[in-house]
Amino acid sequence: MSGGFSIRRWLTTTNHKEIGILYMVTSLYFLVFAGFLAGSMRTQLAFPWLGLLDPFRYGQTVTLHGLIMILWFLSPLGIAFANYFVPLQIGAKDLAFPRLNAVSYWLYLFSGLMLVSSVFMPGGGPDTGWTLYAPLATTQYTPQPGMTVAVLALGLLAASVTISSVNFITTIVWCRRKGMSWRVLPVFTWGVLATVALMLYAFPSLGVGIILLTADRVLGTMYFSSLQGGGILWDQLFWFFGHPEVYIVVLPALGVMAEVIPTFARRPLFGKQIWVVELTLVTVLSIMVWVHHMFLTGISFDVRETFMLTTLAISVPFEGVVVGMVLTLRKASIRITVPMLYAFGALFFVILGGITGVFQASIALDYALRGGYFIVGHFHYVMVGTTIFGLWAGLFYWFPKMTGRMFNEWIAKLLFVVQFVGFNLLYFPMFFLMDMPRRVSEYPLNPEWIPLNLLSTAGAYIWAPAGLLGLLNLAYALFKGRKSEENPWQAQAPEWVNLPGPIVALSNLNGYAEEGYTHLPLVASFLILLFAYGVALSPSLALVSLAAILVTTAYWFRDHIREKFSIVGERAAENWPFFTQSKEKLGVWVFLASEIIIFGSIISSYLYVRVASITWPAATQTHNLTIGTLNTIILLTSSLSIILALQSIKEGNRKGLIAGLGATMILGVAFLAIKLGFEWPELLAKGFNLSSGLAADTYYATTGAHAIHVAVGLVAVIYLLAKAVRGGFTVENHHAVENVGVYWHFVDIVWMFLFPLFYLI
Amino acid sequence: MTSPTPLTAEAWWGLFQIFLVVGFIAGATVMSALIYYALRYRGKEGEPVPHYEMPPLSQRAKEAVVFASISAVILFGLAVVSLRVADQIQYPPPRNESLVIQVTAFQWDFRFTYPNGYSTLGVCRVPAGRNVIFNVTSTDVFHDFGIPDFRTKIDAIPGRYNLCWIVAPDPGPSGSVSYQIKCYELCGAGHPLMMSNLLDMAPDQYDQWYRGTASMPMGGP
């Protein structure tokens, strides 16, 4: 694979720079797409009497605009920079798991296309707003299959994001070059670390919301259509994810700004260590504020009071983050370049967006502001102003690094000014429209809102074309721009100083896992896409693609089974806080952290509807305690047998390994066979099925999710067994056994919670 | 806001103004610093970077603590005044001193049911000067019952009964004033037109109307 353009190369790459470029181009495509949606909404609101978009079309437009902008544009653009520059900043050869990185990208692209496809299905797409509030999002009120497709598209994205977060956390913790200690870790990488940690924490909750909503829509459970679960359960699951998501979107932009501002102020970020501490505080607090999205749902005053205080508290470290950047300018030697202008713009908007955010934190002011355009203005100042301007600072800052060419700076500066003016014209009037409800396509009784809407739309017509021209300026420079020097900004950050090379330099492709080019991630992701369509629309497609996924997985691991390979560990700069772990093991542990949230959310949902129910069938009358106990013993024994397998290979005993793994496999199969072969048919015969109420719904959904995990664990055990029979494990090389063992124990521990919750109480 | 709406709108606007003033001062301070530094410390392209001695971390730490303390004090103050106003807005007066109207939101309208069982759509008549409690629920999806001029609203959720309350001001010589009621939560294709009216009536006119409702046909379907 030498230089030059080759489609095959882009389809099969696992190189972090190339995947970074793919993320970037894809996210910009989604920006333009969702931007056109925004433009059509603004046009409708300026001239509502023309009826450009009827309410149903408007509902779909507003939904897709929100979903795509937040989840398929802003966040992925940050991830694009993270892909390209985190390894360069920390001196890693690539991400920890390059092929999984490719899977992340393809799942991201396919999920976006799947979401867009939902609108073209008969009956239209989702029209519930990006928050997908239940019960509106259940089949009774949105029967169209496009809604189910959109929900599953979101599920694919959640999978992509989870894989990404595991990958980046492992990379940043494990793959730093010698000397790259936490103390000297660049601020952009800190921003990315905070982002992916939040992603790992937040997305499983969305994932569970999606799983349960899909079960409701496809299988007929009643998590969100029943009064016991319903809208509030969805609200909790969604906003537990949704508020951290705001910070997931903003943090990479803050990281970029903290790189750009010191570079062009020509002095270091003022008090970097403190800035990082403040950033960490923001990240931690951001997971404790989600209820402020539900102040008017009738939850108790004490809860609201608490969440008002946490929401106000987050302003303190956040203000520190902003002020730290402003103070960096003091007594500096500032060069006004294009990236610096965008960073200034982002600072300006984060101040305005932050302060208007404090207004909504007040539970008293929320009574009038909730659901109106003041909020729309506020979050666009944060999401568009801070995040787009911040990320644009990165786009222009790193453009010469990525392409080796320089854009036309004069045009870019001019367009910045136009964008800045257009932006304020677009969003500032919204603060004055505070009584106008969000997500309405017309307001016939309030003609007094027309002038401000016209003004806002005029701003959109300035802002959007200027933004588009800015991208065209870059596109032109990509092909015709003058050659840039190695370090045109005289930046001091490691990606500029230490390493040469725009994208054509693919020197870092070595080692087993970093082979470089493989079609497997693309194929696997495509099959997962088909599976998602299958779940939404056609069970037979789901089954066929599931089988194909299994075959692909086997093919994927074929090389691993045949060969003896040992992982060549790169030396991390320092081992703290993980002293002796292999990067695979670290990856498994990080992944399990997200699994804990998954099961935590599923079990919480069960407890939520159970507590809200007045009557609930007694466990002893429904469930067969003998079978439950038998299965518990089986799972516990299997944990023991996999420990024996690991112990055996540590002592070099191959037969013991094979026996232990064999026993684990048999016990795992027995567990599933008893559950699916005896227990469930018996329950179904009793009339305990998905349409018989929440007791059955929660039982099948929760233990079903667990059974799927057992099945996945079984596949992994079978892989270990195949490799063990071929002699693939030795005393030194048994990481895979250990890692699968950790996962297997986790699945068993989950059962230890489910057994009492369903069989005993 | 011609006449006092004691516990909702006036208190709300007062609080909003406090936030506006504090927010303006805080924002203007940081923004002026930003603009001042950007103009004052411009360096020349190509010139060597002037030597710069990084102040010790302890100085930054001190500044961080100072800024954090200032903003914490300000935010705590805002929290305290917010809670005071929230108390006024949210706690309804005792039911036996109030007119309780059941509000049932559905796709896409609000149904108002009075204590005597009379039920209507399109307009909710209330007497001026009396406590009115709205007991709000929904029969299908999430809605939100909002009366923008009274600066109050509450979510309408299936299976839940949420309260919000108002005291309508004196309607003046005309005898009645109409306020808008709107849904503030996306609830499907009819959301933009999901609205109703609050008719604030002089008490005697209201009483006369209310006495007549016993013999009136129910409004709406």
Most B CBs within 10 A among A41, A358, A448, hence the mutation to make, goes to A358
Nearest-Cα residue of chain A relative to residue B53: A267
The pLDDT tens digits for A662-681 are: 999 999 999 999 999 999 99
Of the candidate ranges A159-168, A174-183, A249-258, the one whose mean pLDDT is the lowest: A174-183
Q: Are residues B158 and B72 in the same domain?
A: no
The pLDDT tens digits for A592-643 are: 999 999 999 999 999 999 988 888 888 878 888 899 999 999 999 999 999 9
Q: Are residues B169 and B78 in the same domain?
A: no
Predicted local distance difference test score (pLDDT) of residue A581: 64
From B48, B73, B90, the end of a domain falls on B90
Give the helix ranges, DSSP H, for A653-756.
654-673, 680-685, 694-725, 735-755
Q: For residue B3, is it within any domain? A: no
Selected residues 92-131 of chain B with any CB under 8 Å from a CB in chain A: 107
Enumerate the residues of chain A whose CB falls inside 8 A of the CB of residue B54. Answer: 267-268
Domain, as residue range, for B77 = 9-39+56-90
Enumerate the residues of chain B whose CB falls inside 8 A of the CB of residue A315. Answer: 71, 75
Q: Does B65 touch chain A (CB under 8 A)?
A: no
Which amino acid appears at position B175 of this protein? G
Q: Name beta bridge partners: A13.
A: A517
Give the sheet arrangement for strand B98-106, strand by strand.
Answer: B119-121, B109-113, B98-106, B131-138, B162-167
Q: How many other C-beta atoms lie within 10 A of the C-beta of residue B59?
A: 12
DSSP for B65-84, written as a single string: HHHHHHHHHHHHHHHHHHHH
Task: Tell me the pLDDT band of A1, cut-offs 50, 70 and 90.
Answer: very low
The pLDDT tens digits for A136-153 are: 999 999 999 999 999 999
C-alpha span between B184 and A444 (Å, rounded): 16
Among B71, B141, B192, beta carbon nearest to A135: B141
Q: Which helix (H) or strand (E) holds B219?
A: none
Predicted local distance difference test score (pLDDT) of residue A14: 87
Q: Which helix (H) or strand (E) holds A549?
A: helix A539-562
- Contact between chains at A315 and B75 (C-beta distance less than 8 A): yes
Q: For residue B51, is it within any domain? A: no
Q: Are residues B115 and B14 in the same domain?
A: no
Q: For residue B48, is it within any domain? A: no
Predicted local distance difference test score (pLDDT) of residue A578: 55
Q: For residue B2, is it within any domain? A: no
Predicted local distance difference test score (pLDDT) of residue A218: 94
C-alpha span between A146 and A643 (Å, rounded): 46
Of the candidate ranges A41-50, A534-543, A727-736, B42-51, the one whose mean pLDDT is the lowest: B42-51
The pLDDT tens digits for B137-186 are: 999 999 999 999 999 999 999 999 999 999 999 888 888 899 999 999 99
The pLDDT tens digits for B28-74 are: 999 999 999 999 998 876 677 767 777 788 888 888 899 899 999 99
C-alpha distance from residue A555 to each of A299, A551, A559 (Å): 52, 6, 8
Nearest-Cα residue of chain B relative to residue A612: B159
The CATH number given to whatever domain includes residue B161 is 2.60.40.420
- Contact between chains at A437 and B187 (C-beta distance less than 8 A): no
Among B79, B89, B190, beta carbon nearest to A308: B79
Task: Tell me the pLDDT band of A217, cut-offs 50, 70 and 90.
Answer: very high
Q: For residue B45, is it within any domain? A: no
Q: Which domains, from first to last, does chain A contain?
A: 15-254+515-614 (1.20.210.10), 625-761 (1.20.120.80)
Q: If you average pLDDT over every residue of chain A, what do you get?
A: 90
Q: pTM of the entire structure?
A: 0.93
Q: Are residues B83 and B60 in the same domain?
A: yes
Predicted local distance difference test score (pLDDT) of residue A321: 93
CB-based contact A334:A266 (threshold 8 Å) = yes
Q: Are residues B141 and B182 in the same domain?
A: yes
- Contact between chains at A333 and B54 (C-beta distance less than 8 A): no
The pLDDT tens digits for A279-323 are: 999 999 999 888 888 888 888 888 888 899 999 999 999 999 999
Instruction: Give chain B's domain count.
Output: 2
Enumerate the residues of chain A whose CB falls inside 8 A of the CB of residue B61. Answer: 271, 274
Predicted local distance difference test score (pLDDT) of residue A761: 83
Q: Are residues B144 and B162 in the same domain?
A: yes
Q: Report, as an integer, the average pLDDT of A707-735.
A: 88
Assess whether pLDDT exceeds 80 at residue A507.
no
Q: Are residues B113 and B160 in the same domain?
A: yes
The pLDDT tens digits for A636-652 are: 999 999 999 999 998 88
- The closest of A757, A612, A619, A615 to A688, measured between CA atoms, is A619
Q: Are residues B164 and B132 in the same domain?
A: yes
Q: Are residues B80 and B186 in the same domain?
A: no
A671: tokens are 């567990």
Half-sphere exposure of residue A51: CA atoms within 13 angstroms, side-chain side? 1
Q: For residue B183, is it within any domain? A: yes
Q: Report, as an integer, the average pLDDT of A126-134.
A: 93
Among A127, A135, A301, beta carbon nearest to B158: A135
Q: Are residues B104 and B209 in the same domain?
A: yes
Most B CBs within 10 A among A322, A326, A365, A453, hence the mutation to make, goes to A365
Q: For residue B44, is it within any domain? A: no
- Contact between chains at A364 and B89 (C-beta distance less than 8 A): yes
**A678 alpha-carbon distance from chain centroid:** 38
Q: Are residues B129 and B208 in the same domain?
A: yes
Assess whether pLDDT exceeds 60 at residue A66.
yes
B16 min Cα distance to partner chain A (Å):
7
- Contact between chains at B60 and A232 (C-beta distance less than 8 A): no
Q: Are residues B154 and B171 in the same domain?
A: yes
Q: For residue B107, is it within any domain? A: yes
Selected residues 140-179 of chain B with any CB under 8 Å from a CB in chain A: 140-142, 144, 146, 148, 151-155, 157-162
Interface pTM (ipTM) of the complex?
Answer: 0.93
